[in-house]
Chain A
Amino acid sequence: MKTIDESKLREIFGEENIKTDPSDLYAFGSDASVHHAMPWAVVRPDNTRQVQQLMVYANDALIPVIPRGGGSGMCGQTVPIRGGIVLDMKHMNRILEINLPDVYCRVEPGVVDDDLNLALKPHGMFYPPTPASSRIATIGGEIANNASGVRSVKYGATRDAVLGMKVVLPNGDLVTLGAHTRVEASGYQLHKLMVGSEGTLGIVVEATLNFVPIPEYRCMGIANFDHLAHAGAAVGSIMASGAIPSMLELVDSVAIKAVNKTMNLGLKEVAASLIFEADGMVKEAVDYEINKMKEICKKHQGSDITTSYDPRERARIFMGRKKLFPALSKYDDNLSSTSLADDMAVPYSRMADMAGKIHEVAKKNNIIMTAYGHCGSGCMHTKILMDTKQPEQWASARKAITEIYEFVRSVNGTTSAEHGIGLSKAASFKVEKADSLRLLQTIKQALDPNNILNPGKLMQAPDDWVTATGLRYAVNN
């Protein structure tokens, strides 16, 4: 461990914006992943100048700096695997401008997604990426991971909503990337490169974001399927039909059983359910979209198909999906719901195969896995339920994940759809991107020659995620 000049940090940030007590550092060593590692200090900037000053100091002293937003990442992106200073961006939380005529807003990176949406709501607008963690996720963190969620099928991911940004580079320089316009063809689109870079290339200190009108009408539907393959085929047909769902979610039999077991919701225990939604400003247009989706579900032997515009009924339809998280946590007192191999994306036509593969691999390796997700955008989520105390369960998880990612790559899928790579998914990421790894390293080297910004992540992360850091669970010896 290198020595940190605490007086330097005090000079930059002030005493009240630094944490060095082990109890604080311990809390900042975690996120929502399975990993844990201790930082050496945590600092909290209030302005860009402080971020620049820190980077000048850290670059000179060769101390790792790990930018952190809400700490809701699921793959260990903010876990300081090589120690260093955690740069907690939550205090740079100003919504700087809501520009209605030009349809953009400017925000600091610590603004919470839900807060931005609350500020936009009186203007009839919303910020579209909508990750499930929007109540805690910061815009900076969402940019770092190219976050998205249930509405990405229609509105895209964070990368689609970012028009421009100001970024502090590892040497402390401040650069302005992108523009304030909807389109830009002025050279390299470096702001897009920053999206999804997981804090390894620069620190976003201001972002210019696009927003869209809140639709007047939303209609949600559900269809049950006796065969996973039929649900998967329906997804492909819907997306190929020209229909524009604002949500298209798949929930598998394991997930349905989990929700019934722990929440007593009484959902029909079928092989899979599809939840679909259309939204828009004109009811007839929404009707058209929703009827098209209904017809396709019917054609693929979907049953019990219901749709509704009523907010309460929509909430009821979505209840099974909404309660899935707590249901999986409560599934069994001895099993923990872990975020591993949790957001791969595959082509629509392989969605059902993917879910089937997950079930097969789980059974073979004696763990419980669910398959659910935003299948309209090709994203499949999983959770692994396992007894985290047992070392052999980790060995099984390691094996299962390797098999699952082999399948993902074999069908031209990708390792991560919306949670990023961090530490947990690095092994598969490196295989998937084998022929561009050198290029990725060259980009990293060009921007961060001293490798101080969030080192040890993405292509630099260890191949074995189980031993990459300490696990945040108590595992028996």
Chain B
Amino acid sequence: METKHPTRFNHLKKWESTLAACIRCGYCFEHCPLFKYTGWESDAPRAKIITAFGLLSGELEPSEAAADKLFNCFYCKRCEAACSSGVTLTDIFTDARKDLVEMGYAGPGTTAVTDLTCAQCLLCVTACPHEARFHGENGIETDLVKCQSCGTCVSICPANAVNILHTFGTGKEDLTRASARFLDTHASAKAIVFACNWSYYPDLQASRLPESETHDKDYDIYVNMCAGRLEPETLMAPFLNHAWGVLVACCPEDDCQHKNGGKRSKQQVKRIQSILENLDIDPERIQVVEIPDGDKTLFQAEIDTFIDHLNALGPIK
């Protein structure tokens, strides 16, 4: 790439001893939505740290593929919470991005991209909680260093002109496809549960259970990057695939990482409830519940209550 400068990682340099302090235990794997989706260790947070070390030490030549590893991150910081060495991984990724941008690498990784249908209404610029959207030479642009891939701009854009291209299983189409597959393959299926990555993170995704353990599952959980980003089509799709109900888990309103995600998800669910009511379907077949960060017990209790409710209602006729 001609625009690139010689390899200089001035921002990354300050993390030299932290990169050595990472003991590379890999405890971050299980917590990373990217790794869980691709199953490739080279997409896991540890690999990003190794990449950063390789770039800084000069053992690894900068390249689009190496840069992509650093531009692909949803900043959920679950890796940091799980880190046995207390490494603040995303701070390192951010500084690596600064260097890579200065060298001419342009992502986008998981950062938001704007297409030509953008009306430049600036709604996303004011809504971005990370001040990563700005009016630049090419219209509304994304600051590749500041963007944390929260998707606020995606969900707020009235023209659907903002997208996250690399969704790693958390995008609208991914969720719709996955839920349809579950409903289609499980005669016992009743509900789809959409869980916000920040409030709940499911275990047992790195391994596949035997058919004997899963054939009578009545619900499945699909993690998204913010309940506020769930669109009406995604929430309605399970009903078209004969689901009895849909449960949305969001973070408490005062604890949303993405500014108003909880509020937006409640509004969205309310809209779907009105649609169901108009169709003469019990509106309580779609519900939203607030789950504080990591409260798995409450989450399970809410799911159980919801399934009991659906059992009382029976299938939609």
Question: Which stretch of A5-13, A90-98, A418-426, A443-451 is in the interface?
Answer: A90-98
Additional A-B contacts beyond A98-B212, A326-B84, A334-B17 (19; CB < 8 A): A21-B65, A22-B60, A22-B65, A23-B69, A26-B51, A26-B66, A31-B24, A44-B40, A71-B41, A95-B209, A112-B206, A112-B207, A115-B203, A135-B27, A326-B86, A329-B87, A339-B23, A388-B20, A474-B57
- How far apart are the CA atoms of A358 and B68 in the complex, in Å? 44
In the complex, whether B85 has a CB less than 8 A from a CB of chain A is yes
Contact across chains for A136 and B51 when beta carbons are under 8 A apart = no
When A and B form their complex, what is the total count of cross-chain residue pairs whose Cβ atoms lie within 8 Å? Answer: 149
Contact across chains for A115 and B50 when beta carbons are under 8 A apart = no
Q: Which of A22, A334, A388, A389 interacts with B61 by CB under 8 Å?
A: A22
- How far apart are the CA atoms of A334 and B16 in the complex, in Å? 10
Interface residues as binary, A416-458 with B (CB distance below 8 Å gives 1, 0 otherwise): 0000000000000000000000000000000000000000000
- Which residues of chain B are within 8 angstroms of A348 by Cβ–Cβ distance? none
Contact across chains for A30 and B207 when beta carbons are under 8 A apart = no
In the complex, whether A277 has a CB less than 8 A from a CB of chain B is no
- Which residues of chain B are within 8 angstroms of A133 by Cβ–Cβ distance? 25-27
- Which residues of chain B are within 8 angstroms of A330 by Cβ–Cβ distance? 21, 85-86
Contact across chains for B85 and A32 when beta carbons are under 8 A apart = no
- How far apart are the CA atoms of A269 and B148 in the complex, in Å? 43
Contact across chains for A337 and B24 when beta carbons are under 8 A apart = no
In the complex, whether B42 has a CB less than 8 A from a CB of chain A is yes
**How far does the Cβ of A43 sit from chain B's closest Cβ, in whole Å?**
11
- How far apart are the CA atoms of A111 and B204 in the complex, in Å? 10
Known: A72-B26, A111-B207, A119-B204. A28 touches B42 (CB 8 A): yes
In the complex, whether A110 has a CB less than 8 A from a CB of chain B is yes
Contact across chains for A94 and B26 when beta carbons are under 8 A apart = no
Contact across chains for A22 and B63 when beta carbons are under 8 A apart = yes
Contact across chains for A474 and B20 when beta carbons are under 8 A apart = yes
- How far apart are the CA atoms of A53 and B136 in the complex, in Å? 53
Pairs of residues from A and B, 7 with the lowest C-beta to C-beta distance, nearest first: A329-B85, A115-B207, A27-B47, A23-B66, A27-B42, A24-B42, A136-B26
Interface residues as binary, B52-84 with A (CB distance below 8 Å gives 1, 0 otherwise): 011011011101011011000000000000011
Pick 23 A–B contacts, CB within 8 A, sort by A: A21-B63, A22-B66, A24-B40, A26-B59, A26-B60, A27-B41, A28-B42, A32-B26, A36-B59, A71-B41, A72-B25, A97-B210, A98-B210, A98-B212, A116-B207, A119-B209, A133-B26, A133-B27, A325-B23, A333-B17, A334-B17, A337-B85, A474-B57
In the complex, whether B39 has a CB less than 8 A from a CB of chain A is yes
**How far does the Cβ of B148 sit from chain A's closest Cβ, in whole Å?**
22
Interface residues as binary, A119-147 with B (CB distance below 8 Å gives 1, 0 otherwise): 10000000000000101100000000000
**How far does the Cβ of A107 sit from chain B's closest Cβ, in whole Å?**
8
In the complex, whether A288 has a CB less than 8 A from a CB of chain B is no
**How far does the Cβ of A233 sit from chain B's closest Cβ, in whole Å?**
32
Contact across chains for B63 and A19 when beta carbons are under 8 A apart = no
- Of B16, B203, B204, chain A has the most CB atoms within 10 Å of the CB of B204
- Which residues of chain A are within 8 angstroms of B57 by Cβ–Cβ distance? 474
In the complex, whether A118 has a CB less than 8 A from a CB of chain B is yes
In the complex, whether B29 has a CB less than 8 A from a CB of chain A is yes
Q: Which of B42, B68, B87, B204 interacts with A19 by CB under 8 Å?
A: B42
- Which residues of chain A are within 8 angstroms of B24 by Cβ–Cβ distance? 30-32, 472
Which residues of A359-405 are within 8 A (CB) of B?
388-389
Give A36's nearest chain B residue, CB to CB.
B59
- How far apart are the CA atoms of A264 and B180 in the complex, in Å? 50
- How far apart are the CA atoms of A337 and B22 in the complex, in Å? 9
In the complex, whether B317 has a CB less than 8 A from a CB of chain A is no
Give A123's nearest chain B residue, CB to CB.
B213
Contact across chains for B208 and A94 when beta carbons are under 8 A apart = yes
- How far apart are the CA atoms of A26 and B24 in the complex, in Å? 14
- Which residues of chain B are within 8 angstroms of A26 by Cβ–Cβ distance? 50-51, 54, 59-60, 66
Contact across chains for B210 and A136 when beta carbons are under 8 A apart = no
In the complex, whether B95 has a CB less than 8 A from a CB of chain A is no
**How far does the Cβ of B130 sit from chain A's closest Cβ, in whole Å?**
26
In the complex, whether A70 has a CB less than 8 A from a CB of chain B is yes
- Which residues of chain A are within 8 angstroms of B51 by Cβ–Cβ distance? 23, 26-27
Known: A27-B51, A325-B85, A388-B20. A19 touches B40 (CB 8 A): yes
**How far does the Cβ of B84 sit from chain A's closest Cβ, in whole Å?**
5
In the complex, whether A50 has a CB less than 8 A from a CB of chain B is no
In the complex, whether B99 has a CB less than 8 A from a CB of chain A is no
Q: Which of A94, A112, A334 interacts with B210 by CB under 8 Å?
A: A94
**How far does the Cβ of A78 sit from chain B's closest Cβ, in whole Å?**
11
Give A105's nearest chain B residue, CB to CB.
B210
**How far does the Cβ of B29 sit from chain A's closest Cβ, in whole Å?**
5
- Which residues of chain A are within 8 angstroms of B203 by Cβ–Cβ distance? 114-115, 118
In the complex, whether A249 has a CB less than 8 A from a CB of chain B is no
**How far does the Cβ of B44 sit from chain A's closest Cβ, in whole Å?**
8
Known: A474-B16, A474-B57. A136 touches B84 (CB 8 A): no
**How far does the Cβ of A238 sit from chain B's closest Cβ, in whole Å?**
29
- Which residues of chain B are within 8 angstroms of A118 by Cβ–Cβ distance? 203-204
Contact across chains for B63 and A95 when beta carbons are under 8 A apart = no
In the complex, whether A303 has a CB less than 8 A from a CB of chain B is no
Q: Which of A70, A91, A329 interacts with B26 by CB under 8 Å?
A: A70
In the complex, whether A279 has a CB less than 8 A from a CB of chain B is no
- How far apart are the CA atoms of A186 and B294 in the complex, in Å? 50
